[in-house]
A and B are shown apart, each in its own frame.
Chain A
Amino acid sequence: MNRIQDIIGRVKEIKPLPGTVIRLIHVVNDPLSTIDQIVEAIRYDPVVTGQVLRIVNSAFFSFSREITSLNEALRILGTLKVLQIVMAIHTNSMLSKEQHGYGLPPGKLWQHSVGVALASAAIADHLRDPNRNLLFTAGLLHDIGKVILNEYVATEFAEIARRVAEEKTSFCEAEHQVLGFSHDEIGAQLGEKWQLPPAIIQGIRHHHNPNAVDPPDPLVDILHLADCICLMLGIGLGADGLDYRADEGAMARHGLRESDLETIGIQVLVELQRVSCLFEEGCLECEGEKVGAGQEK
């Protein structure tokens, strides 16, 4: 049982998300928030403000004039875009490290997380679900538990892989059996510690098993489908591969067809290439394909 206490200890020790990010998540996820309230959540953090303005004024967006205030950035880009930038900056350092237990080289867990965030927002748009900002955040943080479990999975990988291969359990079921926790459970505990909105915590906890939620929760369904799309397309795919259960009920409940997932998959791949460019110095691909001013996507 020592290991279980050890894992819980890790949750307690992990660095908290910056206050600015927590404030922003809460404000942006409230549909009644105004742009002024969102600005208020960020403006006292000079580092975040500076980062947002630097990215907004980068060659990637190619606005014809300089954007000098957060207010202007929010008006031109929209709240989702600004949330994407701030969240991507802050999760980049946390999620970009190698997760060798999961066979993920540096940058891959972040790539998968951004992919799921973009896919979640895209499915929300497709279904006209008003919670796209909430879904984007939940997507970005859905696998945060892997950062904590990484070392333990590395130690027990052979046994976890054996159970997956021989007993046909899913990877997270095997994690739970062998380690006492699965990455979705640990991720939800971390979300509680960070005091994330309860809807996001629920999404993290059940993203591999939306059927466990009664009554069904559209946010969990969408997050699950977004994860399925990214796993199938191999976006940030690790040694756990596709050994996760896919729930067709999550499709049926929203009238989604396979062709919808394919269309969203194409959209995600294109957007992911653009977002990744934002974080790579001097990415040449961006020079040929700049996003036009005022375009919100």
Chain B
Amino acid sequence: MQHVVDIADMLVTNDPDAVLITHSLGSCIGVTIWDPEAHVGGMIHYMLPASSISPEKAKTQPAMFADTGIPAMFRAAYELGASKKRIVVKVAGGSMLLDDKGTFNIGKRNYVALRQIFWKNGVLIDGEDVGGSCSRTLKLKVGDGTVTVKKRDGEAQL
């Protein structure tokens, strides 16, 4: 069963038949987590780095921001029996417009926020496809943990 994860949303499941997919990742970032023993998979599509821009929105829609959404996704996975030391993490997105001055850098800041959160919490990234200026579709098969990224030039496993 395929579940679409919309922008500013996340989903965590232990259904082995579930396929999680998110489309149109621009400067936003999609993160997948997967625990091969607990058979738990999760995906988030966050749009901005820090919830300080709108603490109110962060309460109702934590998956909008890296700093509220990523911890919430990990907590939801732990509740289903996932363990931090087993979790496989993959990351895609963070594209940028063609901008020599680096003014429109939400993509880059989204990625920096993610690295900081993972560094503080001792989480390693197992695979990533970030940056550039393309649109990406990210997919996770919860059954076997396969993660693929689809871009203009085709689909590849991460």
Contact = CB atoms under 8 A, between A and B. Distances in A.
Chain A complexes with chain B: yes
Contacts of B28: 232-234
Given A170-B98, A242-B134, A243-B98, A237 B26 contact: yes
Contacts of A152: none
B53 A263 contact: yes
B47 A265 contact: yes
Contacts of B54: 263, 266
A259 interface: yes
A72 interface: no
B31 interface: no
B63 to A, nearest CB: 12
Contacts of B47: 233, 265, 269
Interface string A123-166: 00000000000000000000000000000000000000100000
Given A161-B153, A244-B98, A237 B57 contact: no
Contacts of A232: 26-28, 97, 104, 106-107
Given A233-B26, A233-B28, A259-B53, A266 B48 contact: yes
A104 to B, nearest CB: 10
Given A242-B135, A248-B104, A262 B97 contact: no
Chain B: interface size category = 20 to 34
A184 to B, nearest CB: 15
A100 to B, nearest CB: 13
B40 interface: no
Interface in A238-270: 238-239, 241-246, 248, 251, 258-259, 261-263, 265-266, 269
Interface string A150-193: 00000000000100000010100000000000000000000000
Interface of A: 103, 161, 168, 170, 228, 231-239, 241-246, 248, 251, 258-259, 261-263, 265-266, 269
Interface of B: 7-8, 23-28, 47-48, 53-54, 57, 64, 95-99, 101, 103-107, 133-135, 152-153
16 contacts: A103-B152, A232-B28, A233-B27, A234-B7, A234-B28, A241-B26, A241-B133, A241-B135, A242-B27, A242-B107, A244-B97, A244-B98, A246-B104, A258-B104, A266-B53, A266-B64
